[in-house]
Amino acid sequence: MEATVGTRDEWLAARVELLEQEKELTRRSDALAKRRRELPWVRTVHIQFTRAATTAVLVIVALALAACGGGDTKDSEQTHQDQPSSTAPAAKQAGSTIDVPEGEYTLEATPASGKAGKLTFNVANDGAIDHEFVIIKTDRKAGDLLKGSEADESGAVDEIANIAPGKSVKLTVKLRPGHYALICNLPGHYRPGGKPGMSADFTVR
Ligand SMILES: [Cu+2]
């Protein structure tokens, strides 16, 4: 649309004329609404039933919406637990779950030991960036695996490749007795700035 350029007086005159048209539109709209309200009412059982039904439908819809809303909240809250639910029964049978919170740049294992057999690692990324989780069977200390800029992963048993921030992922593995290193080996996470980072020792008896 092309705009025309005029004086302030011209603008004012045009604006006043437009305003009058707008007012007229409002008046006509009001009149129309009044006529709609004045439509004859038909008092029959059918109408009353319809109203009751409408009310009922509205109530049902409202309840359904409320239920959905609640459901959504629950879903998001339970994502952590629900996601790996398939491994939950196995975890119960094994009777041993190790909590592994991860952050920048920390990794802990609680408890730091477990019984040989099936063990479930519940790895929670409490940080703000992606992390991973690698289980390595090694006699070396978890913090002594540096090879170049990363940890040497020889002896790796299993891993969770990627855990998004705020997510938890469970990993159930069968472990034999021995010493294990639990690490995140994403670039720079194992020993950030040459300092101890995302590694923890774990013992299976
Ligand atoms: Cu990491």
Mind listing the pLDDT tens digit for each residue in 63-94? 554 554 444 433 333 333 434 444 444 444 44
pLDDT at position 23 over 60 = yes
Find out whether 182 and 135 touch, Cβ atoms under 8 Å: yes
Side chain identity at 160, as an amino acid letter?
Answer: I
Q: Which helix (H) or strand (E) holds 106?
A: strand 106-107
3-state secondary structure 75-99: HHHHHHHHCCHHHHHHHHHHCCEEE
Domains of the chain plus CATH, in order, are 70-204 (2.60.40.420)
Q: Mean pLDDT across the chain, nearest whole number? A: 80
Beta bridge pairs of residue 121: 98, 171
Alpha helix ranges (H) inside 100-179? none
What are the Cα distances from residue 98, in Å, to 121, 122, 157, 168? 5, 6, 16, 12
C-alpha 124 – ligand 1 centre gap (Å): 11
124 pLDDT above the threshold of 80: yes
Taking the centre of ligand 1 as the mean of its atom positions, its distance from the CA of residue 132, in whole angstroms, is 6
The overall pTM is greater than 0.75: no
Residue 181 Cα to ligand 1 midpoint, Å, equals: 14
Identify the pLDDT of residue 64: 54
Q: Which residues pair with 68 in a beta bridge?
A: none
DSSP β-bridge partners for residue 9: none
CA of 105 to the centre of ligand 1 (A): 6
- d(CA 188, ligand 1 centre) in Å: 8
Q: Is the dihedral of CA 93, 181, 171, 112 positive or negative?
A: positive
Spatial separation of the C-alpha atoms in residues 140 and 151, rounded to whole Å:
11
Q: What's the 96 CA to ligand 1 centre distance in angstroms? A: 24
26-30 mean pLDDT = 80
Please report the pLDDT score of residue 51 as a whole number.
Answer: 56
Look up tokens 């790895």; give the residue: 123
CA of 91 from ligand 1 middle (Å) equals 25
Best-predicted range by mean pLDDT (24-33, 60-69, 121-130): 121-130
